[in-house]
Amino acid sequence: MATKKVIIIGATSGIGRQLAILYLVNGSTVGVTGRRKNFLEEIKNSYPQQVHIAAFDVMGNENVSRLKDLIDEMGGMDILIYNAGVGDVSENLDPEIEDTTTRTNVSGFVEIVAFAFNYFAKKGKGQIAVISSVGSLRGNSWAPAYSASKAFMSTYAEGLNMKAKRLKKDIIITDIKPGFLNTKPSKGNKRFWVASPVKAARQIKNAIDHKKRKAYITKRWWLIAQIMKAVPYSLLRRFA
């Protein structure tokens, strides 16, 4: 079987970095992006023949041009994983946090994922994985832009799956919904069922390999998702 050409948007640390390593171990050619070039170079130094890097910020104005260059350098793309994202607590509705969250999780996301979809549509096949969140299921007063932007990502992914079906293209968009991940210190919120980046990355790659349309990470978060959907607003507002 031919090795895959995978591009991971947001691979400097956490699950993005771990996903890159998993694909590299399996022999894939991997393109990694992120703001911190030195972290990308660390990955390349470990797998110099397989890794291609592109350092850029998805809030900038060069997303498509840098992605095009990376695809050309790799000789194509089979899978795109959009892992770039921010979700800082915005207790006082901080304008900078709201703007950064929206530009990263919505504007940059749409620009890159729309380009990838059109690329795969011309190619006739491909796969896109978007890292949304269990938090996308309901609003949250502590991080309203985060929950709303992740909901946008999930709805966008569903719409693209419908579009691929209508266009009769073999394109799968996998919506990955993680729960709590041990990727950065907790900022005061109580957390449970916290997964390591390694464990989360393994389950994410498995969902992508099996071309799932939706996957909860870790799998037990499916149960929490059902509860969140069922809880009435009158009760939810006491805790969110």
Is the pLDDT score of 46 beyond 60? yes
DSSP letter, residue 195? B
What whole-number distance in Å separates Cα of residue 16 and Cα of residue 22? 10
Is the pLDDT score of 1 beyond 70? no
Domain 5-236 has CATH 3.40.50.720: yes
The per-residue pLDDT for range 118-169, each reduced to its tens digit, is 999 999 999 999 999 988 888 888 889 999 999 999 999 999 999 999 999 9
Print burial letters for 68-92: b (CB count within 10 Å at least 16), e (below 16): eebbeebeebbbbbbbbbbbbebee
pLDDT interval class at 187 (50, 70, 90) = very low
Query: CA angle at residue 180 from 202 to 53, to 5 degrees?
Result: 50
The per-residue pLDDT for range 155-185, each reduced to its tens digit, is 999 999 999 999 999 999 999 999 877 665 4
Is residue 152 within 8 A of residue 107, CB to CB? The reply is: no
The predicted pLDDT at position 237 comes to 80
Is residue 121 within 8 A of residue 136, CB to CB? The reply is: no
Is residue 114 within 8 A of residue 68, CB to CB? The reply is: no
What whole-number distance in Å separates Cα of residue 175 and Cα of residue 158? 8
**Tokens coding 20:** 């890159």
Q: What is the mean pLDDT of residues 30-38?
A: 96
